[in-house]
Structure 1
């Protein structure tokens, strides 16, 4: 009698327990362009926020920079980000991704720093703040481009990475970038030991 009760209780528990959710399946949304992952969405957010602080920073360069090259670089990056921002908004709308309307806390702090400077101090900080930021977003764009399953994101990342590389080169052309302050490339993993071939022939 007791055994029958235990069996019935076990069956009841199995029936009322919700089915387990595959964690991998919960991490992406299916779209007409393919699966959209958290990394794909994060790419759109980060590129959007990059433009939201680099456009006003480029505008500041027109009145606060002393170097004509910094002014020119600021103008070119600002114009590029207007184009890139339009692509970001278009992709986000197509894929149903909510993107921010303001820079993040760090970016707002950088803008405040630049707004308080002028002349050579502005020139130096503009070049170095933007170069460091581009280095970080470059790894994000490249990582998503290499592995995304979404055709729309793949196209967007391919275009975005060209903008980022161009901007890094422009900033470096000012001659003000302190490369010693940039993060070093990651140390490569040690190669696995190579097995030595054994000569089994008789001598």
Structure 2
């Protein structure tokens, strides 16, 4: 999977997801800081959740967790292509790597197997999806950019599906919902 991620990540994109070029006006409407944040956060979500899904296939003890990991990984590949295409149209540069928290979650998962992995995977991903869902919903509600609103709708469907999948494992606790 690491090789696939290297191919998908443009070499010139800065790690912090800064906007290339200047200006806030696009042919789809103004581009706000929240719109840019949406694209960056969705990209970063995929950058750690794709490898996490691959780890689930290899490290989980529960067949359901393995299935959920595979579905999330596959769907994030689709969402990643979408976010990169949308960002390119809007001249927004995206990060090439997960943020520090996400990298630490991957390291944490890499140190576990079996039921320990199952719990860590489900709780980390469910909590992260809850946070990014709020960013997507806010951007969808507030953006004046039609391209961003359409992307937010697509992203929201993926994230909602992922939360439902994670909850279907029976491992989601109250702590993952905060």
Q: TM-score range by the shorter chain?
A: 0.7 to 0.9
Partner of 2:58: 63
Partner of 2:105: 110
Match status 1:46 vs 2:9: no
Q: Distance in 1 between matches of 2:32 and 2:176?
A: 33
Among 143, 153, 160, the residue aligned to 1:165? 160
- Number of residues of Structure 1 aligned to a counterpart in Structure 2: 157
Among 71, 74, 78, the residue aligned to 2:69? 74
Partner of 1:182: 177
The 3-state SS of whatever aligns with 1:86 is helix
CA deviations 1:128-147 (Å, max 9, x no partner) are 00000000000000000011
Q: Distance in 2 between matches of 1:77 and 1:62?
A: 11
Q: Distance in 2 between matches of 1:45 and 1:107?
A: 13
Q: Distance in 2 between matches of 1:63 and 1:46?
A: 26
Q: Distance in 2 between matches of 1:134 and 1:62?
A: 19
Give how far 1:180 is off: 4.1
Q: Which of the two has higher C-alpha Rg? A: 1
Partner of 1:87: 82
Instruction: Note the residue ranges of structure 2 that are not aligned, 5 or more in a row.
Output: 1-22
**Which structure is richer in relative contact order (CA contacts within 8 A, separation 6 or more)?**
2
Give how far 1:179 is off: 1.9
Q: Distance in 2 between matches of 1:180 and 1:102?
A: 26
Give how far 1:182 is off: 2.6
The 3-state SS of whatever aligns with 2:30 is strand
Off by >3 Å, runs of 4+ in structure 1:
none
Note closer, same or farther for the CA distance 1:140–1:123 as it changes in structure 2 (3 Å cut): same
RMSD: 1.2
Q: Distance in 2 between matches of 1:63 and 1:167?
A: 19
Q: Is the 8 A contact 2:124 2:176 kept in 1?
A: no
Partner of 1:126: 121
